[in-house]
Structure 1
Amino acid sequence: MKKFNSKSCEEIMTTVYKPIEFVVDGLLAQGLYILAGAPKVGKSWLALDMCLSIAKGEKVLGQETAQGTALYLCLEDSYARIQNRLYEITDEPTENLHFTVMSESIGSGLEEQIENFKKEHSDLKVVFIDTLQMIRESTDNGYGSDYKELSVLKNLADKLEIAIVVVHHTRKCSDSEPFNMISGSTGISGCVDESMVIVETKRGSRNAKLYCVGRDIENAEISLQFDSDLKKWIVTDEPTASKSKDNIFLAALYVYIQKKIDFTGTASELVTALKSISNEIFYPNRVTRDLVQNGYTLRQYGIDFLYKRTRNGRLIILHYDRERDSSDSKTSGEVTVNSLALKV
């Protein structure tokens, strides 16, 4: 008899899962993405800029990148055209960026090609596929066909823990909702983790908006202008102050556990103990959430976390191992909460 491979609510809420890693901060994480726009609007220039920036570990669209290998499937181009574009955008080659002008299609070898490339380049961060139509087997653009084909790439991106960005076209007709302009059925936008649509404010103006909506990002509208000299899309929005990602609770916990080494007790008892470290108000009902969701950060600071259910209630067990503390704080002398910024 077949059964569901289910997990209880408590198991899910107390398990430390690997956090989402962004390839382009706040814009591109691990998963499947669509980058859509009208023909000749400049999608490929944006794709090339993103690939090159990730390969070099440089900012793109004003955002930090996680440096690593990038693979660009330029399936509508030749190597001579790629060379011309590269010389337009940079004079510094990098070994981290790779190109191919031919590939198999979805379900007929493309997944194996990408997997084999990942085996050869373990630091692979992103794969750009330009364009979707070049890797499709089916001519059916119905919801079921769109979703089924893209779900293959979605599963592959999740399996390899990389970002796969598929370049696609928009319809000729305009729409007040940019994501309705993505060519094909809603199966495309429904399957991907994020949709990015670039729309010129006026055709040929080289001024555009990049509309972004996804599961792991905040919805955004980014104003862009294409710099004809640099051959890059430049963000023209006024910069806004980024929200602080400092976690005062984790900082206080780190200072406390460095001194005590071990802790076993309830969430309320931990909050009480942290009063000797910080004047901040911490809430017991949020303690477990912060510990679980930041488990990877805690491990980097040499802190092991265990959540145990007993007859007397739920206990939090913490242990600090200085030898496994990869931070600079362990050797920086007296550490205080204000001097320590734990980023989450």
Structure 2
Amino acid sequence: MSSKKSKPASTKKSRSFSIKKLVSISLAICLLAVFAALGIVYHGVQELQNPIGISESKTFEVERGDTLRSVTQRLEDEGIIESGFWFYWVGRFKEQGRLLKAGEYWLSPEYTAMGLFPVLTSGKTVNYSITFIEGWNIREVLNELDNHPKLERLVHTTDPAEVAKLLGMEYPHAEGLIFPDTYFYRKGMSDLEVLQQAYRKTMEVLSREWKQKSPDAIVKSPYEALILASIVERETSVDSERKVIAGVFTERLRLNMRLQTDPTVIYGLGDSYEGNITRKHLKQATPYNTYVIKGLPPTPISMPGEASIKAALNPDVTGDLYFVAKGDGTHAFSKTLREHTNAVRAYQLKRRSDYRSSQ
């Protein structure tokens, strides 16, 4: 019987060395791949620490229904971030997608891409402002809303009665019930929401001031106070005169005299008024012509501010029954018709070249 030949020891050692060498090379390749991957990840994360790609502040909108992927894509498309890949995957890891809040956000050049996450999930969206001016009427308010395209328009009428219905007012007419002030809104809010804020502000101010009215006040309800205040608002913009003018109207109402105030006539003329009041206008019968009717008109004629509301409820009753514009923004007050006639001659019939009314 022949015996099997055993392999030389040198061959076994050579094979064992080759396997070890292969394992070492494979391990080295794996380590290099891991280090390379870590390097790529580190580079990507570092990239997110760089300032975003805008040179000046701008807005960015997270729309309703947006996902982390759709937001990432728009950020990249608009050049705000350099790498959407890393932004997306870091966002996924940090579970930012479910925290996104819809709205417009203000982005500054110093923000980093990583710093966008707390911004876009904060809900601190951009606020815009709209200002309604004392003495405006409801049509001027609605016209101002047209200048704010980021508001959703739900009010498509200029009829004060229709506006009152839309706002759920307890009054049938919206004139005078929109408080003149500055209001803030976000993109997507409606004009109705802004008007509701302004209506609530009117009711708050009116309720507060009604509780503090003077015994000299002749108005019988908060709404009458608003009507009188709206006339005072249109007659003067000089704070020191408001209570005196309110006092003139209070005294005339007490004596059952007609108010005879031009702003009410102009309001009653509506669109037919072309900027110049005439004797014919003063005789034209409308519910607002206080040269024809006695007492207050049926509704306010403008939006009175807080100062005019205070004046209507706290009039300075001096015995004056008349006033006339002096041409420098103020008025001359008179207790008798003769004094008033002389004042008219002095200030109205001989107007200076620099004459201006109080409005």
Q: What's the TM-score, normalizing by structure 2?
A: 0.18
Larger Rg: 2
* Greater strand proportion: 1
Greater RCO (Cα-Cα under 8 Å, separation 6 or more): 1
* Greater helix proportion: 2
